[in-house]
């Protein structure tokens, strides 16, 4: 029992938890981005997609996915807090000299960008899922229904996203958050693979490449929605 407790509290275990949950969250982001990009195909495609997700396995698939996502998110934040606190405790005095080669700007700001992403996710859920902020654009309100080609009436998620991003303040908040997310991923992906021991000489250069590719790809992909709306390319 004690041995289990020691493993549970060990730094390496916490790093594994952070790496594995982080990779799960990246998979969610890629899936979410793919769904969001349907906005460029029009209201029918995006609303049909949202509806099928809600209906999958008689509505239970979305709750299973939400449960898994919540567990991964909580474990990720929890291990990040534990590891940051331990690192601080082990290094009570700030380094006099900073080594700019090994400590990139992104790595030093991981805790801060992570915290801001957490704030963004809470705001995002209040915006699109619960409709408690910017409620005038909420797809769940009466009068915002969309009728699919097969006659099913669904909440007009397409209209909610477009109407929201027509407000420059909302677009600015989203774009800034996506840039932060990109910076966070840029550093996080390489460190996750390092923690998981993927340091093989042939794979390492690929892994180093994957962080910036994912960081820039995810940030640009998500930013393309608010920017296209504000530029009037989708309406
Ligand atoms: C342009 C950027 C984004 C747009 C347009 C967007 C849009 C949406 C929409 C329409 C929903 C579904 C609301 C509903 O019907 O319940 C949603 C849910 C969600 N989004 Fe985003 N999203 C964006 C970026 C992000 C990012 C970057 C993250 C994570 C860092 C994120 C995390 C989530 C989560 C966790 C949910 C809740 C999933 C659920 O409970 O069903 N989104 N988003």
Q: Residues with beta carbon inside 6 Å of ligand 1?
A: 29, 32, 36, 50, 62, 66, 117, 121, 124-125, 128-129, 157, 161, 174, 181, 222, 225-226
Element (H, E) at 30: helix 11-36
Q: Is residue 235 part of a domain?
A: no
In the chain the first and final C-alpha atoms are separated, in Å, by 59
Q: Mutate which of 72, 73, 124 to test ligand 1's pocket (most atoms within 8 Å of Cβ)?
A: 124
CATH number assigned to the domain comprising residue 64:
1.20.1300
Number of domains in the chain: 1
- The total number of residues shown for the chain amounts to 235
> What are φ and ψ of residue 146, in 5° steps?
-125, 135
* Residue 97 resides in a domain: no
Compute, in angstroms, the gap from residue 206 CA to the centroid of ligand 1: 29
Q: pLDDT per residue over 120-171, tens digit each?
A: 999 999 999 999 999 999 999 999 999 999 999 999 999 999 999 999 999 9
Does residue 159 form part of some domain? Answer: yes
49 and 35 Cβ atoms separated by less than 8 Å: yes
Dist CA 204 CA 52 (whole Å): 39
Q: Is the pLDDT of residue 213 over 70?
A: yes
Q: What pLDDT digit, counting tens, does each position of 28-82 carry?
A: 999 999 999 999 999 999 999 999 999 998 989 999 999 999 999 999 999 988 8
**Of all protein residues, whose CA lies closest to atom 27 belonging to ligand 1?**
178
Q: Is residue 142 part of a domain?
A: yes
Asked if residue 224 belongs to a domain, the reply is: yes
DSSP codes of every residue in 60-102: HHHHHHHHHHHHHHHHHHHHHHHHHHHHHHH--SPPSS--TTT
- Residue 53 is assigned to a structural domain of this protein: yes
Evaluate whether residue 151 is within a structural domain. Answer: yes
Q: Is residue 134 part of a domain?
A: yes
């Amino acid at each position: 029992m004690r041995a289990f407790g020691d493993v549970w509290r060990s730094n390496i275990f916490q790093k594994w938890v952070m790496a594995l949950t982080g990779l799960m969250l990246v998979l969610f982001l890629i899936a979410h981005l793919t769904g969001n990009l349907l906005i460029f195909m029009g209201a029918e495609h995006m609303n049909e997609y949202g509806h099928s997700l809600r209906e999958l396995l008689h509505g239970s698939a979305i709750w299973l996915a939400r449960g898994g996502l919540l567990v991964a998110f909580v474990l990720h934040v929890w291990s990040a807090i534990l590891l940051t606190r331990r690192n601080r405790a082990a290094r009570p005095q700030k380094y006099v000299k900073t080594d700019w080669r090994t400590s990139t700007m992104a790595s030093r700001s991981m805790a801060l960008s992570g915290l801001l992403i957490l704030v963004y996710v809470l705001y995002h859920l209040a915006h699109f899922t619960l409709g408690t902020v910017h409620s005038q654009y909420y797809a769940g309100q009466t009068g915002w229904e969309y009728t699919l080609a097969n006659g099913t009436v669904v909440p007009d998620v397409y209209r909610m996203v477009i109407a929201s991003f027509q407000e420059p303040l909302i677009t600015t908040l989203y774009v800034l958050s996506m840039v932060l997310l990109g910076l966070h991923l840029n550093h996080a992906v390489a460190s996750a693979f390092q923690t998981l021991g993927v340091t093989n000489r042939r794979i390492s250069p690929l892994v180093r490449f994957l962080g910036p590719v994912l960081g820039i790809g995810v940030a640009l992909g998500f930013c393309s929605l608010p920017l296209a709306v504000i530029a009037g390319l989708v309406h």
